[in-house]
Amino acid sequence: MALQHPAFAHIPATVKPKLSPKAKETIVKVYEWVENECIPAESIMERQLEGHRWAVQPKMQELRGRAREANLFNLFLPKTFKESPGLTNLEYACCAQIMGRCYWAAEKQKWLKPLLEGTAMSAYSMTEPDVAASDATNIACSLHREGNHYVINGRKVFGGSTMNKDLTFFILMVCSDPENPSAWKRHSMVIVPTNTPGIKHVRNLTIMGYDDAPQGHAEYLYTNVRVPVENLILGEGRAFEIAQGRLGPGRIHHCMRLIGQSERAYEMALVRAIDPQKKPRGKRIGDFDSNIERLAQMRLDIDTMRLIVLNAAETMDLLGNKAGRHTIAHSKIVVPSMAAKVIDECMQMHGGLGLTQETFMPHAWTYARYVRLADGPDAAHRHQVGRDELKQATQLQSKHRRYKEQASDLAAKL
Instruction: Give the whole-angstrom CA distance, residue 3 versus residue 26.
Output: 13
Q: Does 82 bind its own copies (CB under 8 A)?
A: no
List the interface residues with its own copies, window 156-185 (CB under 8 A): 157-158
Q: 3-class DSSP state for residue 51?
A: coil
Shortest spacing between CB 129 and its own copies, in angstroms = 6
Looking at the Cβ atoms of 238 and 350, the one nearer to its own copies is 350
- Binding string, 93-132, against its own copies, x = CB under 8 A? ----------------------------------x-xxxx
Selected binder of its own copies within 21, 147, 197, 352 (CB under 8 A):
352
Looking at the Cβ atoms of 226 and 363, the one nearer to its own copies is 363
Selected binder of its own copies within 61, 74, 138, 180 (CB under 8 A):
138
CB 37 within 8 A of CB 60: no
Instruction: Give the whole-angstrom CA distance, residue 271 versus residue 264.
Output: 11
Instruction: Give the whole-angstrom CA distance, residue 146 versus residue 139.
Output: 21
Selected binder of its own copies within 67, 273, 342, 368 (CB under 8 A):
273
CB 35 within 8 A of CB 95: no
Looking at the Cβ atoms of 112 and 252, the one nearer to its own copies is 252
List the interface residues with its own copies, window 192-211 (CB under 8 A): 205-210
Residues composing the chain: 414
List the interface residues with its own copies, window 310-349 (CB under 8 A): 311, 314-315, 318-319, 323-324, 327, 330, 333-334, 344, 348
Q: Does 32 bind its own copies (CB under 8 A)?
A: no
Amino acid sitting at position 275: D
- Size of site (CB under 8 A) for its own copies: 118
Name the burial class of residue 412, with classes exposed (0-12), middle (13-18) and buried (19+) by CB atoms within 10 angstroms of its CB: exposed
Helices (H) and strands (E) in the chain, counts: 11, 7
Pairing of strands 167-175, 121-125: parallel
Q: 3-class DSSP state for residue 143?
A: strand
List the interface residues with its own copies, window 228-257 (CB under 8 A): none
Looking at the Cβ atoms of 215 and 327, the one nearer to its own copies is 327
Q: Provide Rg for the chain, Cα atoms.
A: 24
Shortest spacing between CB 92 and its own copies, in angstroms = 15
Q: Does 84 bind its own copies (CB under 8 A)?
A: no
Shortest spacing between CB 218 and its own copies, in angstroms = 10
Pairing of strands 149-157, 142-146: antiparallel
Looking at the Cβ atoms of 117 and 411, the one nearer to its own copies is 411
Cβ neighbours around 1 below 10 Å, total: 15
CB 228 within 8 A of CB 149: yes
Shortest spacing between CB 393 and its own copies, in angstroms = 4
